Structure 1
């Protein structure tokens, strides 16, 4: 019976129908969208991406304007050869950032003066405390290690850190001090704390669905950010961007219910749009360099993992929304079980969660990946509003002669290999974090 079911499933997956638009054969698989590769019929049946906020919309427009130009430069190698952080736009962005932080310093000074000189009035100290609180929100700062996620250090996972060090050496940088493991389909690097120690955020939702060599490409991409001089990641410029976004939010108009609301909205109109204008200026000055850094990080992924692995990684990134939906369905299904039997079902769901996730997304056919790539190009999909369009990144990663690529995707081997013994050792070190996050996904994500 099991063999018959498998045969029936295989037959269903190999079924075809005629395209209603052009008559070409269309593969039919009930798990995925039917679409025509010849004429793009039904290639994008879903709703478009939700409208972003005003700031994200501006960044997306700027990013798309730079996208094709930067992609062409990366394929020719000219953008990669240009030194990072030394152009006029970077220096001007640094100057604007210092101006923004200067306003924060003035708030601190004004707050202290109001408290010290107006202590007897009662009102001025309260206003001074308000200014100091606002300055605290606007201060430039580095992230901290999260308290609600597993954190691994070198002593906890020596083989994982050995792998990270090898990939870092391949892309021309050094390793990290801590690895924060999350359940998201994402990964990132940043510096944390006053000593600016390096941190890698490793999302199991992405890591677990990647084939071995694509995991190397992922590490190569993230660690490549430490090499490529992304000015937007610096504490000064990043702090200014965050401060301006905070100003824009704090000064947001309130629905007018009386004369006082109209007066406050009128008073805050000019400062609010001044903050927005400066934020747009900073975006214009830094987004090109930020997108260039993403392309160079992709080149690092090619160097470490291979061109084929880097292109495959970018395909997997297109699955990120589906990964979140799959984890949520797992959680909902487990939570629907009640009583003692429900607890046992939740335990079983936790035990095999990441294996089921990997198996599910390991079955995605090439036909579906091609559809996602075409949808990505139509919508100019990007990881977020500061990233280049994903389809352009993939094109550059796989392009012969592009930065970091020695030739076509199949002819550019990576410098780091991820064999079975190393993979098993790393998996063993990640096992405690996998268990903690599986429990959290099953018990909390449905809520």
Structure 2
């Protein structure tokens, strides 16, 4: 049975009125992440306590926003996270923050549920980011359309890639009753990207200086900002989860090759009683001694094929714990390293662990994108898939049980889930709090 209702315990705190905006746009590529990061850093410099959320399943944008705000960035999503849990997370953040920024996903009305659906569910006003580099007065028409199509409560606009003060003035005049909250000039140095989105923060040279410069260049109308409506939050009830993983140590790979990990997943494991310990396969660190289970999250193993192929101590420890029957969960990039071979985008072939027969091949075409659910014996575990590789495998049914997740959009079969004893592997990224019992079961030994 899926755990949706949680028992409550007494909480301390009082109602708090907080400025909350959802930062969205007409499409991807308008500068939502850049604008959200600049706004978070700017407000923090002004003495505000800022918390940031990211709409929908995402790993890389939250890492960048965490660096900008200096606080962990959680996901909000009406389907994967759920409305009740999203509300609780907002209420918890409001106990510590003066400002909550929620970065949307894609365009304001894209997806089901969309960023607009989230904004309406929690009565959050929208701050629209518009790339104004090739228009001026037409910005007014764009933002009025964004406001009225849904409609949504439009708090104001961030005009991105503005050429001059005169350009900004034309935009402001064209928007009539919609305030121009902030402007950003065209950037000579943008945040770099690769096939799954932004690069990891630790790979960006002088990231702190870039974020500081963005904050410096963000022209924020403080009067307009202070005039934004505030939302009132009551202290949330503290969740109580069963101690299904009490006393268990879970080894988690974490480095540039295995970086795609929801902060909420770590929180959930701890609330279930587990102690996470981290290690780096890229640094050839073995699975930590004393671990009871192993978690290989997704990431960019295809960018580190040579290092992983040469990490003999890590490889030896992985084969040893698998042979001993240790519960192993491998997601996306974590699954890729369990195969026999990995072919990267340069067509170089790297030997991997060989625990799953077959080869992973990187491709230019997106292989899967979207929310999915896995119907486990403990109920539905929600999450998503996003990858550019394919898994070519001759797996035999008598050796492996093959199951599938289900796509949220149309109910069709999603990613395959491969099970071999206590090893579970898939391109599917699980969001543990959607079903803590199902998550816990992945780290417990299965009966033969």
Q: TM-score, normalised by structure 2?
A: 0.20
Structure that is richer in strand per residue = 2
Bigger relative contact order, structure 1 or 2 (CA pairs below 8 A, ≥6 apart): 1
**Which structure has the greater CA radius of gyration?**
1
Structure that is richer in helix per residue = 1
Q: TM-score, normalised by structure 1?
A: 0.20
